[in-house]
Amino acid sequence: MFYLTKKSSTINLFEYSVDIVNLKTLPAGLGPLFIQRILEFERHNYNRNFDHFFKAKNLDSLESKTLWEKLASLKPTELIDDFRGGNGCDSIHAIYTGAVIQPIEILHDLSLRLTLLTNNKVQSFYFFAPNFYYEQCTIKRDSRRKILEIKKLFSENTF
């Protein structure tokens, strides 16, 4: 979970996460326990505090400004997530083209969540497997492209 904050001209990036364990170096029986711990952490909104999971990321002022500008250019407050736009592939175009609808679905939880905290409101966005559906669906949703770009922005800036 990443936090990007801005107050005046000060921009900071924080990460709240469980350290990923190298599963190949663990005894066979411990791997599933660590996977379960990581999944539990990601799925549940535990009371997250300033503890050893909360880490400040070192970005210089130019990097943080660039990150903020790239994020703002994607207009995250205008995203249409899977709750509002529907999940899976859009089937409406098959009605007009006469195409046979082949169900395209994935059963793994590869979801992305984005929560925006602003002065005025809190907005939450949920995308179920956006990378899979963006690749597989005929109609490309712009919001899926944008959430993938946002994910890339944060993953590139985690040092």
Model confidence over 31-71: pLDDT tens digits?
Answer: 676 667 666 666 655 555 556 667 777 778 888 888 889 99
**Residue 50, in any domain of the structure:** no
**Residue 44, in any domain of the structure:** no
pTM across the whole model: 0.66
**Residue 10, in any domain of the structure:** no
Q: What confidence tens digit (pLDDT) does each residue in 64-104 have?
A: 888 889 999 999 999 999 888 887 776 554 444 555 555 55
Q: Which helix (H) or strand (E) holds 155?
A: helix 142-156
Q: Percent of the chain scored above 90 by pLDDT?
A: 13
- The total of structural domains in the chain comes to 1
**Residue 37, in any domain of the structure:** no
Q: What is the mean pLDDT of residues 11-38?
A: 66
- Write down the pLDDT at residue 139: 77
Beta bridge partners of 123: 116
**Residue 73, in any domain of the structure:** yes
**Residue 33, in any domain of the structure:** no
Tell me the residue range of the domain where 68 lies. 61-156
Q: What is the mean pLDDT of residues 2-25?
A: 70
- Write down the pLDDT at residue 79: 93
- Write down the pLDDT at residue 95: 46
CA 105, 107, 109, 110: dihedral to nearest 10 degrees?
-40
**Residue 6, in any domain of the structure:** no
**Residue 138, in any domain of the structure:** yes
Beta carbons within 10 angstroms of residue 67's beta carbon: 19
User: Is the confidence at residue 133, as pLDDT, over 50?
Assistant: yes
